[in-house]
Amino acid sequence: MTKNEFLSILRDSLAGNVPSDVINENISYYRDYIENNDKAESQVLEELGDPRLIARTIIDSFIAEKGPMADFYTKQARDEYRGNYDNASSYDNNYEDDYDNGYNRFSLKWYDKLLGIIIIIVVAALVLALGAVALGIFFRIILPLIVIYFVVKFIMERLT
């Protein structure tokens, strides 16, 4: 394997998994390491090992470094790799892009929709039934008490 092959495999393995600045930084580092080593190029490449394994280590380190934001940066790297990256780094724009691309899409099956309709009908029936009970209590108990109160008050005012 030559230096160019090594760097090409490393770049291809990193592409779409980490942002381009991380890729360029690592390509530059390994290019300098290979070129500025006292050993022969083939020996240095042999010591370095498989560039895919190095790429996996770089990706894992990047994800560990970013913590909870790793998914955001990984998505950004994939968009950049695909050429979809429009320098809009706000979370809201990226969420909308995810939704448009089919990520996080919430789709319901017919039986989920049917269950939803049944639940809405049951809740509406309960609300109507409770409303009817409340109106019944109002007209049978509360309204007569209010009428009695005003009649008694009216009579008391006339007597005094």
Q: Return per-residue pLDDT of the chain as tens, 160 residues.
A: 899 999 999 999 998 888 888 999 999 999 999 999 899 999 999 999 999 999 999 998 888 888 877 777 777 777 777 775 444 444 444 444 444 444 444 567 888 889 999 999 999 999 999 999 999 999 999 999 999 999 999 999 988 7
What predicted TM-score, i.e. pTM, was given to this entire model?
Answer: 0.48
Strand partners, 15: 18
**C-alpha distances in angstroms, 133 versus 1, 52, 144, 147?**
84, 72, 16, 20
Vertex 156, ends 150 and 159: CA angle to 5°?
145
For the chain, what are the domain ranges? 3-100, 107-160
